[in-house]
Every structure is written in C-alpha cells, then in structure tokens.
Amino acid sequence: MVLGYAADALWIIALAIMASASRQAWGRLPAGLRIPVALNPDGSAAATTTRGPALLAVPVLAFLAGAALVLARLWADRDPLLAVGLFALRATLAAVFALAHLRWLRLVLDRAAAKGALRP
C-alpha cells in the first residue's frame, strides 16, 4: 500500500517536470515552427508537427501509461512481491519518461537555436 503511494508521488513529480519543461519550451518556440517528433538514423527529422502536439505528446502519453499502471496497482496490492515489482516498474518508467522528454526538448531547443528561431 505504501509503495503504491510512493510510486504515485514519483509519477506526479515526473509529470510535473515534463509539464514545467514543456511550458518553458512553449514560451521560447515560435508558433509556426515545425518541431521534429521522430528522427531518422542519420539525425534528420522523419516527422514534424507544430509546437502544441509536439510538446504535449510525451506528457499525455506518460499520463495515460501512469493511469494504466494505477489500475494495475489494484491487482498488485494483493501480493507483496507483485507490489514491489510494480513499484519498481512505475518508478523506473516515471524516470524514463521524464528523462526522455527532457532529452528530446534539449534536441528541439538546440536545433531551433541553430536556426535562430528561439525567442529570448
């Protein structure tokens, strides 16, 4: 039970980090800029979109994954070993989502800065 609350707290912190970073990037990226959301192996943009869908995609996906894992908690709370395993999974995925989002935002901001497209 306590592990479930701890995992919830970690997930909320990860979502807050992603939302805060997206908010900062939103203010620095101009509205019409095409943002890469997928990359080819050579580093070129495979798919681009506007800043709204691009900045919200990973936080929304993380929220949906977290909601699914909360439902799995109902099942895992019956067995202490499953509860520990689910806690480890939730804690790891929260960190992975947050770090992946921050790394992607760094790439987007660096590319926009190289083009001279960032707002101060």
pLDDT per residue over 7-22, tens digit each?
999 999 999 999 999 9
pLDDT band per the 50, 70, 90 thresholds, residue 75 = confident
Q: What is the pTM of this model?
A: 0.87
CA–CA separation, 110 vs 107, rounded Å?
A: 5
Residue spans of the domains in the chain: they are 2-115
Helix (H, G, I), strand (E, B) or coil at 23: helix
Cα dist. 65→28, 29, 61, 94 in Å? 28, 27, 6, 9
- Where do the H-state alpha helices sit in 29-79? 51-76
Token couple for 56: 């919200």
* Beta pairing partners, 48: 36
